[in-house]
């Protein structure tokens, strides 16, 4: 069933006018006619079944029928990604939506070349990915901030999973019987256990930081590692491109602390 | 430092003639001159430092100096991927190399539309990814097989991580203190523990199976789930594209049983 993200409020009987692009997709591409059903969500009112009520030359009108899912959100996880080239950045946005990041934040580091970012284009990719993956919200994409300004302003209760090419604590021990799991998993688990002992929430707010293609500078890495909310993790023995690292980090977090459990 | 995959044997003093494309890249693009160093690997002899010995109009000759790494391989993990469109398939090949799959096998299922696959193009992507990610081997890419023929011939000691959109055992328990980890991680760990108890190797051969965009048919799913070597896992509550699913599955396997530990 086709899913569309719309701006209008959703309630029984409400009329909804899809955007010109959505209307063209529904009528011209997918050949939807009066009476055909679609699913709608707006990030606030859950998911609703609607039917095509009228089709005109200029578009179509949908009529909302019944709610199919109440509104819910993925865990409170930000993906913070250093500015990388357009292709990998678009891949990262699409995959971050599929993998349940709540927000996407862009960051400039010493080794990023700040190009002009087309937020409108990234927003459109996020909407399409949310429609396809079954989410009921579309992650906001925040404009670029400098890394030092971001860290100076950091709320201390939000943990930061720092994907560090230099690896993580080699002494992190795994409790399982079959050898050891990756230190990345152990470090995430230990941080959550520590927060639980401190009477904070074990599944409180988190963020993931992915560096630029050239990596962080030694000064940036030292600073990040010195911050109390930072959890450094390694993503294995091979060099990963930024988009691969982002997908891998989101996967580990969701499997260990997020909504894959 | 530039890394190149070559076919020639690598030993001290050996001359190596890079391909015309590699020579053009070294000389015309990267402006390498006589005496400049590069790294070479051929999938057999480890990684070697070499220097540009001569540059002519028709190419260049390198001279091997000293070994920088002995030959090693990632774990014995096949990625088996149903035929998907060219873009996602090329992404999957690139990322499977970065994430340490040893081989990539293509499979036709009921819901794949078998198009013509350009193995030469996929091989070139694998070579470039291996050069970039720091591997000492290039995964072979096997021509398309039908799923039923593949399963009929399956070696029973090779475990198959089946990424099933219908989810995994909801009763799988996690041993950690902070809630539960994803059943996918628990299922992988349990399968490895079972194999250890059976005196097989805990880190014996494995494979990961990624379905086509339309998913497996109910008959295919039932068959897969009935096979003793199959470990069904779910990749979370959202619908993932095939390339996202492949990267996520490789990540979970490497973190739980592979060389990220």
SS3 A40: strand
Mean per-residue pLDDT over chain B, rounded: 91
How many interface pairs between A and B have CB atoms less than 8 angstroms apart? 147
Report d(CA B203, CA B192) in Å as an integer.
7
In CATH terms, the fold of domain B77-256 is Alpha/beta knot (3.40.1280)
SS3 A236: coil
CB contact under 8 A, A261 and B100: no
Residue of A nearest to B131 (CA): A239
Q: What is the mean pLDDT of each run of 10 residues along chain A (261 residues)?
A: 96 96 93 96 98 92 97 96 93 98 96 84 97 96 95 95 70 49 86 80 86 92 94 93 96 94 85
Q: How confident is the model at residue B58 (pLDDT cuts 50, 70, 90)?
A: confident
How distant is the Cα of A183 from the closest Cα of chain B, in angstroms? 6
Task: Tell me how far the alpha carbon of residue A223 is from its chain's centroid.
Answer: 25
Q: Which residue has the tokens 């539309």?
A: B113
Q: What is the pLDDT of residue B200?
A: 66
How distant is the Cα of A235 from the closest Cα of chain B, in angstroms? 7
Q: Which helix (H) or strand (E) holds B55?
A: strand B47-56
- Strand runs (DSSP E) across A120-250, as ranges? 140-146, 159-163, 206-210, 230-233
Q: What is the pLDDT of residue A204?
A: 82
Which whole-number Å values give the CA distances from A191 to A256, B179, B255, B260, in the listed order? 11, 13, 17, 19
Pair type for strands B37-41 and B47-56: antiparallel
Region A3-69: CATH code: 2.40.240.20
A259 touches B at CB < 8 Å: yes
How distant is the Cα of A251 from the closest Cα of chain B, in angstroms? 6
**Which of A238, A243, A254, A257 would you mutate first to test chain B, the one with the most B CBs within 10 A?**
A238
Number of Cβ atoms within 10 Å of the Cβ of A57: 5
Q: Answer yes or no: is pLDDT of B224 > 80.
A: yes
How distant is the Cα of B235 from the closest Cα of chain A, in angstroms? 7
B257 touches A at CB < 8 Å: yes
Strand partners, A82: A107
Query: In chain B, pLDDT over 70 holds for what percent of residues?
Result: 93
Mean of the pLDDT values across residues B37-66? Answer: 96
Q: What is the pLDDT of residue B189?
A: 86
Mean of the pLDDT values across residues B227-245? Answer: 94
Q: What is the pLDDT of residue B23?
A: 94
Which whole-number Å values give the CA distances from B43 to B7, B71, B93, B165, in the listed order? 8, 7, 17, 36
Report d(CA B94, CA B92) in Å as an integer.
6
SS3 content of chain B, % helix, strand, coil (to 5): 30, 25, 45
Report d(CA A130, CA B213) in Å as an integer.
16
Domain residues of chain A, as ranges?
Answer: 3-69, 77-256
Mean of the pLDDT values across residues B166-175? Answer: 47
pTM above 0.90, yes or no: yes
Report d(CA B189, CA B258) in Å as an integer.
11
**Which of B79, B239, B247 would you mutate first to test chain A, the one with the most A CBs within 10 A?**
B247
Nearest to A202 among B91, B179, B202 (CB): B179
Nearest to B178 among A100, A176, A202 (CB): A202
Mean of the pLDDT values across residues B50-71? Answer: 95
Question: In what side-by-side order are the strands of the sheet with A140-146?
Answer: A140-146, A103-108, A77-82, A206-210, A159-163, A230-233
């Amino acid at each position: 069933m086709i899913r569309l993200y719309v701006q209008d409020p959703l309630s029984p009987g409400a009329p909804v006018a899809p955007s010109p692009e959505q209307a063209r997709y529904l009528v011209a591409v997918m050949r939807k006619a009066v009476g055909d059903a679609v699913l709608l969500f707006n990030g606030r009112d859950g998911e609703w079944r609607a039917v095509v009520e009228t089709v005109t030359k200029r578009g179509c009108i949908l009529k909302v029928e019944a709610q199919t899912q109440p509104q819910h959100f993925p865990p409170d996880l930000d993906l913070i990604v250093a500015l990388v080239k357009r292709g990998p950045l678009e891949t990262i946005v699409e995959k971050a939506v599929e993998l349940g990041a709540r927000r996407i934040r862009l960051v400039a580091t010493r080794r990023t070349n700040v190009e002009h970012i087309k937020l409108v284009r990234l927003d459109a990719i996020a909407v399409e990915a949310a429609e396809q993956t079954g989410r009921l919200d579309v992650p906001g994409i925040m404009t670029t901030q400098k890394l030092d300004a971001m860290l100076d302003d950091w709320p201390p209760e939000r943990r930061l999973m720092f994907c560090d090419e230099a690896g993580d604590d080699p002494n992190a021990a795994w409790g399982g019987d079959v050898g050891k799991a990756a230190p990345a998993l152990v470090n995430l688990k230990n941080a959550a256990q520590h927060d639980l002992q401190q009477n904070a929430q074990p599944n409180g707010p988190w963020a993931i930081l992915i560096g630029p293609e050239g990596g962080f500078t030694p000064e940036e890495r030292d600073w990040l590692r010195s911050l109390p909310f930072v959890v450094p993790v390694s993503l294995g023995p091979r060099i990963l491109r930024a988009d691969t690292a982002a997908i891998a980090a989101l996967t580990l977090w969701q499997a260990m602390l997020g909504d894959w459990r």
